[in-house]
Structure 1
Amino acid sequence: MKISRRKSEPQNPDSMEKGIIDNWLDRYGDPTIDRLVKKNLAIACKIQEILNLKEMKAVDLARVMGKQKSEISKWLSGQHTFSLRTITDIENALDSDIVRIEPNVNNVYF
């Protein structure tokens, strides 16, 4: 029985430095997932920023929201996909906007 080996593509030294996972994502990654991950990280950073401004810690947010500290830690890690409901609950608990959507204003000129 003969075992054939698949020839691999020549490796670019720059791509070797990036790592296997980064190369795979560049080649096969989903731009939608990439955007989702970036937005989740931005939301987590915004929550942490608000906590810092209010001199609060994750445990304080957990207490206010009636959640476990571990759940808040997951949110702040950026590895959680936030629902609009969760974002709104956090905004209410912190009395601050995390996501601000500008109203659609039509200018009328006379």
Structure 2
Amino acid sequence: MEKNDFVSIWLEESGNPAIEELTQLNLDIANKTAKKLADKGLSANDLAVSLDINPDEIQRWLMGRHSFSIKIIKEISGTPL
């Protein structure tokens, strides 16, 4: 993409709504996941063990530094793939 094309200029000035929406969705999921864990008296490590995932990855999700995949969202929610 050229630096001076309309789309690049628009994205630079106004951001990308789809990325902002996805970021907000991931933060919402992280907050809901943290609340559910707290409500059930579970730790992030308990979730890591149940999903067979590195605990550091869980921490990155809960801190909003890493996006949830659809697969993981379904596993956390108990929805079949």
Instruction: Quickly name the TM-score band, shorter chain normalised.
Output: 0.7 to 0.9
Q: CA offsets, 1:31-71, max 9 Å, x none?
A: 11111111110000010010011001101111112111101
Equivalent residue in structure 2 for 1:80, among 51, 63, 66: 66
Q: CA RMSD in A?
A: 2.0
List aligned pairs for 1:1-110, cutoff 5 A. 27-92=13-78
Q: Percent identity?
A: 38
User: Separation in 2 of the partners of 1:87 and 1:63?
Assistant: 16
Corresponding letter in the other structure for 1:64: S
Higher relative contact order (CA closer than 8 Å, sequence separation 6+): 1
Q: TM-score, normalised by structure 2?
A: 0.73
Identify unmatched segments of 5+ residues in structure 1: 1-24, 98-110
Identify unmatched segments of 5+ residues in structure 2: 1-10
Corresponding letter in the other structure for 1:88: K
State the number of aligned residues.
69
Corresponding letter in the other structure for 1:44: A
Q: Quick check: which one's helix share is greater? A: 2
CA contact (8 A) 1:51 1:57 kept: yes
Flag the structure with larger Rg.
1
User: Separation in 1 of the partners of 2:69 and 2:50?
Assistant: 19
